Amino acid sequence: VYGEVLLYQEETRSFQFAAFQGERGVAPKEKELELDACGLARRVLEPLARPFHLSGHEAVISGSIGIPAWPDDGDDVELLLRNADTAMYHAKEQGRNNYQFYAASMNAVALRRLILEGKLRRALDHGEFEVHYQPKVSLATGRTCGLEALLRWRDPEFGLVLPGDFIPIAEE
């Protein structure tokens, strides 16, 4: 129900929203078709970031937009939507209320993430995690005043996987 209310409120701000593959998609009014993709993305994102009232509560949302270019990024609707979806997820990773143009390299990044996610699920069962202890040293005295426990993942195929690569996946 809230989604329908939100869509209605946003529609009155001059955009008509349509559902492509679930929650994704925007169909601009005809006069807006002439805008460049960046301008249209900004015009969609700006009103989404403003607070609105829903059942007596103030709510703030954000959007993420993926932009493919026809015909370079696909010559049929299915491929263009898939590439828009890939770019949208990349936009989400860059921070909400953002848009990104599709780039073929995004598929390689998405594939690596998918592979890491699968390997991460098996890593605990296979004993691939290591705990490293790092001393905390007082600058005033030069003495050890504590320890930090650092989780490391040693994958048999990839070797040492950097925490920045696997911790965000594990948190999700």
DSSP codes of every residue in 97-139:
SEEEE--THHHHHHHHHHHHHHHHHHHTTTT-EEEEEEEEE-T
pLDDT for residue 8: 43
For residue 58, give the DSSP letter: E
- Two tokens at 38? 């960046």
pLDDT for residue 134: 95
Helix or strand (DSSP H, E) at 79: helix 77-94
Helix or strand (DSSP H, E) at 3: helix 2-11
Q: Which residues pair with 118 in a beta bridge?
A: none
- Two tokens at 85? 């979806």
pTM: 0.53
pLDDT for residue 35: 52
Q: How far is CA 162 from the centre of its chain?
A: 19
Q: In tens digits, what is the pLDDT along the chain, a chain of 172 residues? A: 334 444 444 545 444 444 444 445 544 444 444 457 788 888 888 887 888 777 788 888 788 888 888 788 888 888 888 888 888 888 888 877 888 888 888 878 778 888 898 999 999 899 999 999 999 999 999 999 999 999 999 999 999 998 988 998 888 7
pLDDT for residue 29: 44
- Two tokens at 150? 């650092």
Query: 107 with 85: CB under 8 angstroms?
Result: no
